[in-house]
C-alpha cells in the first residue's frame, strides 16, 4: 500500500428506502498516488458524489450504510476508524470542496472565522495566528482587498468568490488529498475555468493529490492525470487522461466523449446523446448495467464483466466483454444503431400520420 496515498477497494455504499436497498456505490475500486490528480466522471446519479462522501465518512447512517469494502488512506482503513480519529482526518489530512458553497458556508460567521476554525482545531494556532494564516489563504485563492473581505459574510460574496473561500477552507491545513465535488456547478464558463486553474495550481504548488468529480469530460483534459469512469455505481473504465481520450475501450465512455459538444463539428451539427436511461439501482440487472443502452451488446453481456487491464497495458482498465476496436464489432454496432434509428423514425412518422388523420 506504500505506493498509494488512497486505495478504495470494493467499496459498497447502499441506502435503505421504503422501496428497498439502493446500491448507490456497488463495488468501486481505484487508487490515488501522492500528488496525483484524477477525475471521476459519469452522468448524474452514477455514484460519484456518494463515493466522495464515503471517503470522508459523511454518509448519514441511516439511511446510508457502508455495506462492504475498504478505504485505505496512508495505510489506515478509514471505515474502521473511530469517529474521533476520523475528525482529525477530515479537514486536516483530507480537504473537500463541495458543490454549493452557499449551503456549506455558515451564513452567521465571517469567512475569516470559518477558515480560522479549522486552523485552530487541527493546527492548534492561536486566534491571531489563525487570522493571519486565513488572510494569506484568501490572498492565495485570489480574493481582493483581503484585509477588508476577511470580515465579510458569505452572502456578500459572488458565487465564484464563495467557491474560492471554500477552496481556502479545504486547503487551510495543507491536506495531502483534496476532493473537489463538482466545484464549478452553477458558475459561468469564465469563472469555471478560473476555479479549475486555481485548484490545479494550488495542488501543484503544495504537492496535494486531487480527486476531481464531474459529469463533464470536457473539463478534465487540462487538469487530471488519470480518469475513472463510473456508471450506475460501478467503475467501468480507467486510464491515463490522454489514453482515455484517444483510445476509449468501453461503449459508455465512447458515448460520453461523443456527447461533448465540439466547435469543429460543422458537418452534422447534431448533439449526440446516449439513448435510454440508467438501470434501477433498487433492482439492477445481473449482467453489464450498460447492456440495454449499448449497440455493441452481445449475449455474453448478460454476465457481469470484471474490471480488468487491457492486454499489455496495465494502466488502462475496462469492464466490457467486447473489443470496440474490432472492425467487425464496429460494423455490428453500426447496423444496430441504424435499425434503431429507422424504427424511431417509423414510430414518429406513424404518430404524425395518426395525429393528422384525427385532426
Cβ burial of 301 (10 Å; 0-12, 13-18, 19+) is buried
Instruction: Tell me how far apart the alpha carbons of residues 281 and 83 are, in angstroms, rounded to a whole number.
Output: 29
Cα–Cα separations (whole angstroms), residue 65 to 13, 179, 216: 6, 21, 28
Kindly state the helix (H) or strand (E) to which residue 14 belongs, with its residue range: strand 6-17
Each residue of 24-56: pLDDT tens digit? 999 999 999 999 999 999 888 888 999 999 999
The answer to whether residue 74 scores a pLDDT higher than 80 is yes
Bridge partners (DSSP) listed for residue 210:
37, 178
Percent of the chain residues past pLDDT 90, beyond the cut: 29
What lies within 8 Å, CB to CB, of 254 at 6+ separation is 248, 324
**96-135: per-residue pLDDT in tens?**
888 776 677 888 888 888 888 888 888 788 888 888 888 8
What is residue 124's predicted lDDT score, i.e. its pLDDT? 83
Burial classification of residue 28, based on how many CB atoms lie within 10 Å of its CB (0-12 exposed, 13-18 middle, 19 or more buried)? buried
Residue 317 has what pLDDT?
A: 94
- Side-chain-side CA neighbours of 73 within 13 Å: the count stands at 22
DSSP 305-340: PP-EEETTEEEEEE--SS-TT-HHHHHHHHHHHHHH
Q: Is 80 exposed, middle or buried (0-12, 13-18, 19+ CB in 10 A)?
A: exposed
Supply the pLDDT for residue 51: 93
| pLDDT tens by residue, 242-279 | 999 999 999 999 988 888 776 665 555 667 778 888 88
pLDDT of residue 236: 94
Closest CA to 231 of 137, 320, 117: 320
Confidence of residue 156 (pLDDT cuts 50, 70, 90): confident
Q: Binning pLDDT at 50, 70 and 90, where does residue 358 land?
A: low
Tell me the CA distances in angstroms from 184 to 51, 157, 355, one per residue in order: 18, 16, 44
Determine the distance from the C-alpha atom of residue 326 to the mean position of all C-alpha atoms in its chain, rounded to a whole number. Answer: 30
Number of Cβ within 10 Å of residue 75's Cβ equals: 10
pLDDT, residue 29, reads 93
Max avg pLDDT among 2-16, 215-229, 261-275 = 2-16
- For range 346-356, the mean pLDDT: 76
The answer to whether the CB of 222 falls within 8 A of the CB of 50 is no
**Does residue 229 register a pLDDT over 90?**
yes
Residue 1 has pLDDT above 50, yes or no: no
Percent of the chain with pLDDT over 70: 94
Average pLDDT, the chain: 85
On the CB side of 121, CA atoms within 13 Å amount to 16
Q: How many CA atoms lie within 13 A of 142 on its CB side?
A: 17
pLDDT reported for residue 44 = 84
Quick one: pLDDT at residue 215? Answer: 79
Amino acid at each position: 500500500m506504500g505506493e498509494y496515498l488512497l486505495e478504495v477497494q470494493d467499496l459498497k455504499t447502499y441506502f435503505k428506502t421504503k422501496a428497498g436497498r439502493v446500491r448507490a456505490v456497488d463495488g468501486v475500486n481505484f487508487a490515488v498516488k501522492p500528488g496525483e490528480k484524477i477525475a471521476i466522471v459519469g452522468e448524474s446519479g452514477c455514484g460519484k458524489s456518494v463515493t466522495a462522501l464515503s471517503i470522508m465518512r459523511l454518509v448519514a447512517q441511516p439511511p446510508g450504510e457502508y455495506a462492504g469494502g475498504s478505504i485505505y488512506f496512508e495505510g489506515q482503513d478509514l471505515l474502521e476508524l473511530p469517529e474521533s480519529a476520523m475528525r482529525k482526518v477530515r479537514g486536516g489530512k483530507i480537504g473537500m470542496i463541495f458543490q454549493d458553497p452557499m449551503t456549506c458556508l455558515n451564513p452567521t460567521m465571517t469567512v475569516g472565522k470559518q477558515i480560522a476554525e479549522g486552523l485552530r482545531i487541527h493546527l492548534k494556532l492561536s486566534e491571531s495566528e489563525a487570522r493571519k494564516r486565513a488572510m494569506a489563504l484568501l490572498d492565495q485563492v485570489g480574493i481582493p482587498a483581503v484585509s477588508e473581505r476577511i470580515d465579510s459574510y458569505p452572502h456578500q460574496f459572488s458565487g465564484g468568490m464563495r467557491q474560492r473561500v471554500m477552496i481556502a477552507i479545504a486547503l487551510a491545513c495543507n491536506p495531502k488529498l483534496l476532493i473537489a465535488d463538482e466545484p464549478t456547478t452553477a458558475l459561468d464558463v469564465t469563472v469555471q475555468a478560473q476555479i479549475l486553474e486555481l485548484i490545479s495550481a494550488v495542488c501543484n504548488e503544495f504537492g496535494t493529490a486531487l480527486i476531481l468529480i464531474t459529469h463533464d469530460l470536457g473539463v478534465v483534459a487540462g487538469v487530471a492525470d488519470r480518469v475513472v469512469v463510473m456508471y450506475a455505481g460501478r467503475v467501468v473504465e480507467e486510464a491515463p487522461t490522454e489514453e482515455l481520450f484517444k483510445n476509449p475501450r468501453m461503449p459508455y465512455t465512447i458515448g460520453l466523449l461523443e456527447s461533448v459538444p465540439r466547435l469543429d463539428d460543422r458537418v452534422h451539427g447534431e448533439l449526440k446523446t446516449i439513448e435510454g436511461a440508467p438501470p434501477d439501482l433498487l433492482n439492477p440487472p445481473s449482467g453489464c448495467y450498460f447492456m440495454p443502452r449499448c449497440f455493441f451488446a452481445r449475449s455474453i453481456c448478460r454476465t457481469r464483466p470484471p474490471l480488468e487491464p487491457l492486454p499489455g497495458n496495465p494502466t488502462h482498465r475496462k469492464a466490457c466483454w467486447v473489443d470496440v476496436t474490432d472492425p467487425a464489432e464496429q460494423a455490428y454496432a453500426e447496423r444496430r444503431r441504424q435499425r434503431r434509428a429507422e424504427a424511431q423514425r417509423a414510430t414518429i412518422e406513424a404518430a404524425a400520420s395518426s395525429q393528422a388523420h384525427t385532426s
